[in-house]
Amino acid sequence: MEKFDAIVVGAGPAGCAAAYTMARAGVKVLVFERGKYAGAKNMWGGAFFGPLMHELFPDFWKEAPVERFINRHVISFLTPDDSLALDFKTAHFAHPPYNGFITLRAKFDRWLAGKVEQAGVLVATALEVDDLLLQDSKVKGVKVGKEEFPADVVVVAEGANSLLPLKAGLRKEFSPQDMKQGVKEVIRLPQKTIEERFQLQGEEGVAMEFVGSCTRGLPGGGFLYTNKDSLSLGIVVQLEALLKHQVKTLDLIEGFKNHPTIREYIRDGQTVEYSAHLIPVSGLKMMPRLFADGMLVTGDAAALVLGTGLILEGANLAMASGIAAGQTVVQAREKGDFSPAALQHYEDLLKEQFVLKDLHTFREAPQFLENERIYQAYPQMACEMARKIFENDGKPRPKTYQIMKGGLQGKLSLWDLFSDAWKARRAI
């Protein structure tokens, strides 16, 4: 069997970034993707960020299948009947690459894998890596069915469900507390309808996040992204909470779609795609060892996902980890050394960059975001106070502070309020 310098498992953002970085330096790379094509089995809400893409592919937006550029962010609290939103729009996000952009994975990952192939990488699709090829505890390639594929180093980039780091002894079994389940529907609407309904012009796009009744008060939230002629709508909920309360994500997303606010956004739309995905959300707590003898772990497989309650960012960290892994392999190949001592350079790079710094900064966020008051009491209190401020019932109006004080009664103690504020300050 032909030997490769490096094998990459997974053709998502992390795997493609690693393969492309290595190929540009003359490394002979083979990529395995279990989907029929890159992007076939991948799912995210839709938001990506430009700087790293621009680093790899200058002016990528001129050819990549970008749906829209995000110049507006909306965060909403939901009760079953009401919504209260913080709506932020800025001209600073009007032009690439230093803003977010919205994509559909099936299109974007396919384009990304095409760029990798143009760089000389062999991308083998519809093939699932079953095991590692080991020799004296050193990773020497992978096994696909009965076939063995030798290589000097293996880069694992196949997402949160990857068992290869477990087989290599780099991590323990994940617990349901460490994972969230995301489900998404793509809902087709005419481009003109989307632009009128969301007040968009040209390539403008909006990213919307929702907290509260969309998850029935369970830890998690909802999202909506505007594509060119469709909407990406979904929810993300802690897996442990789903199991504990015996709630199905299918029921949650159906309820979300029927909320008065969401129902108006998606009115007359047609669901054309449904997908589900596990997301590692416990940050440093669940992060495996990132390297072994002849092996590196990137992206979701390395639990490199940042969740602060305001953002849930994984693709950007995946891309950064892929670039760092590729750079590490290039250096190791020049020295002819793929030992743990040599591959530790990968973790050093992630420490120098934003990836591990951000995970460290927000290391207490995962535990803070398990607080059920965030998804139950606070959305209800915020919407109720807003309703009382704006309603006219024919009676004298109370002062705002009286409305706020009344909103706390029976829902939150002052101790709860101060405790949560203090924890939020430390966590996010």
In this prediction, residue 204 carries a pLDDT of 92
> Quick one: which of 271, 270, 233, 239 has its CA closest to 253?
233
Q: Is the pLDDT of residue 418 over 90?
A: no
Confidence of residue 248 (pLDDT cuts 50, 70, 90): very high
Specify the pTM.
Answer: 0.93
In this prediction, residue 94 carries a pLDDT of 64
Mean pLDDT of 21-36: 96
- CA–CA dist 158, 166 (Å, integer): 13
Residues with Cβ < 8 Å from 16, sequence gap 6 or more?
A: 31, 38, 109, 112, 113, 115, 116, 322
Task: Tell me 398's DSSP state.
Answer: P
* Sign of the dihedral defined by the CA atoms of residues 153, 51, 113, 288, in that order: positive
Q: Are the CB atoms for 158 and 34 separated by under 8 Å?
A: yes
Q: Is the pLDDT of residue 403 over 80?
A: no
In this prediction, residue 373 carries a pLDDT of 92
Task: Tell me 120's DSSP state.
Answer: T
In terms of pLDDT, which residue wins out, 260 or 45? 260
In this prediction, residue 428 carries a pLDDT of 86
- CA–CA dist 257, 187 (Å, integer): 11
Q: What is the pLDDT of residues 48-90, one digit of tens each?
A: 887 888 889 999 989 999 999 999 999 999 999 999 999 999 8
CA angle 302/73/70 to nearest 5° reads 75
Mean pLDDT of 345-359: 95
- Listing DSSP states for 291-306 in one string gives EETTEEE-GGGGT--E
Q: Are the CB atoms for 301 and 157 separated by under 8 Å?
A: yes
Q: What is the pLDDT of residues 157-189, one digit of tens each?
A: 998 889 999 999 999 888 999 999 999 999 999
Share of the chain above pLDDT 90, in %: 73
Q: What is the pLDDT of residues 119-138, one digit of tens each?
A: 999 999 999 999 999 998 89
CB atoms within 10 A of CB 267: 10
